[in-house]
Structure 1
Amino acid sequence: MSFPIIIMAGGKSTRMGREKPVLKIAGREMLLWVYGTASRIGETIVALSKNTPKTKELCIHEGIPFVETPGKGYVEDVRWLLEEFGPFISSSADIPFVKPSDFYAVKKAFEGRTSLTGVLPLQKIPKDLNPLMYQGYAIVGLNAVGVDGERFFELENPLLALNVNTPQELKLAGRIARLVKGSGESEEPQ
C-alpha cells in the first residue's frame, strides 16, 4: 500500500519570526528543498494554513499540490489530515537536508497502523545542533501517521537533526548547503 507524503508547512514560525517555508537556503526556498526530494519518492502534498500565505503563493507559482488545514495547531492539523487522507508520511517543511533514503526507510517500515516518530540516536547528532530531545533521542521532522499507537523509528541521516527554527539555524543551513554544493554534490540534497 502506498501512503502520500504530506509536508507540514502551516505553522506560525514563532521562533523564526517569519514564514519559514519560503525562506531561502543557498538561493532556494526551504520548502522546495524538501518537496524536491519528497516528490521523487511518491505522491506529495503540502499542508498549509492561514498562517502561511506566502507558502501558498509559492505552491501556486511552482504548481505544487497543496491542501489548507484549519491551522489551529500541529496536533489538530495532523488529526484533520488523518481524517482527510488516512495514514500518511509526514515531513516538516524545515528539514532541508532530508534525503530520498530517509523517505524510503520510513515508507518501508510503515504498515499504516502504528505511527512512527522519526528519531536519531544521540551519537549521530552533530555537535553544533540542539534538537528536541526525548527519552535519549533527538526527535526529527520525518514521521508516519497511523491510526493505532506510536513507536520510535531510528533514522540514519545526521542532518535530520537540523530543524530550521531560528535565524541562527537558517544561517547554519546555508553554510551546510554551500559545503554540500562545494563538494561536487548537487545543490539539492540527495
Structure 2
Amino acid sequence: MIVIMAGGRSSRMGREKPVLRVAGVPMLLRVYGEAEKVDEIIVALSRNTPRTRELCLREGVPFMETPGKGYVEDIIYLLREFGPFVGVSADLPFVRAGDFQAIERAFDWKTSLTGVLPLRLVPRDLKPVTYGGYAIVGLNAVGTEGEEFFELSNPLLALNVNTPEELNLAERIARLVGK
C-alpha cells in the first residue's frame, strides 16, 4: 500500500500544498497519478487540509483522516492502522512510478527505508534537507524494525515544494521537462 501524506499545516507555504498546481495539475493528483500505476493508494489528510478533502471527494481519490497532530504522530497512527506501507509526501511533484517500484522492491516490510539522493545528483538550484552526504526525500517505506537509507536516482525528488519560491521552481522545471 502507498500512503500519500497530505495532512500537514503547510506553515512555510501559507496555504494547502496538495491542492497547489504545477503545470496546471494539483500536486496531490500528480503524485496520485504515478502511485496508482504501482499499488493501492490512500491519501492521509487531516482537519488541516479541508481543500484537499474537497479535491479527493471531487476526483474520487480514496482518503482517510489522521489526527493531524504532526508528521511523526500521523505515521505512527497509519502504521497501527495499516501495518507497514510506502509513504510519500503530496508535495513531491516529480515522483515517478519507477521511484515507487524501486522502494517497494527493496522493502522487506519490516525495516523502514528513508529515501535519499546522493548529493552529486541534486540539481544545484535545490536546497534539500541533507544528512551524511545525502539529500533526504519525501519517499519512504515505513516498517516496524530499524531504519536504513535507500538510494534513489531521480534527481527531481530533491524538490519538495515547501515555499512559494519552490513552487515557482517546480513550475519552471515542469515547463522544461514537459511534465
Q: TM bucket by the smaller chain?
A: over 0.9
List 4+ stretches of structure 1 deviating above 4 A: none
Over the residues paired in the alignment, what is the CA RMSD in angstroms?
0.5
Amino acid at match of 1:73: G
Amino acid at match of 1:32: L
Distance 1:39 1:49 in 2: 21
Question: Partner residue of 2:140?
Answer: 143
What is the CA distance between 1:140 and its match in structure 2? 0.1
What is the CA distance between 1:109 and its match in structure 2? 0.2
Amino acid at match of 2:149: F
- SS for the counterpart of 1:45 is strand
Unpaired runs of 5+ in structure 1? 182-186
Distance 1:177 1:136 in 2: 27
What is the CA distance between 1:136 and its match in structure 2? 1.4
Q: Of residues 40, 52, 56 in structure 2, which corresponds to 1:43?
A: 40
Question: Partner residue of 1:75?
Answer: 72
The superposition leaves residues 114-169 of structure 1 with CA deviations (integer Å, 9 ceiling, x where unpaired) of 00000000100000000001111100000000000000000000000000000000
Question: TM-score by structure 1 length?
Answer: 0.93
Q: Of residues 92, 112, 116 in structure 2, which corresponds to 1:95?
A: 92
Unpaired runs of 5+ in structure 2? none
Question: Partner residue of 2:174?
Answer: 177
Question: TM-score by structure 2 length?
Answer: 0.99
What is the CA distance between 1:26 and its match in structure 2? 1.0
Amino acid at match of 1:112: W
The superposition leaves residues 88-117 of structure 1 with CA deviations (integer Å, 9 ceiling, x where unpaired) of 000000001001110000000001000000
- SS for the counterpart of 1:21 is coil
2:113 is the alignment partner of 1:116: yes
Distance 1:67 1:134 in 2: 32
Identity of aligned residues (%): 68
What is the CA distance between 1:85 and its match in structure 2? 0.3
- SS for the counterpart of 2:139 is strand
The aligned runs of 1:7-18 (5 Å cut-off) are: 7-18=4-15
User: What count of residue pairs does the alignment treat as equivalent?
Assistant: 179
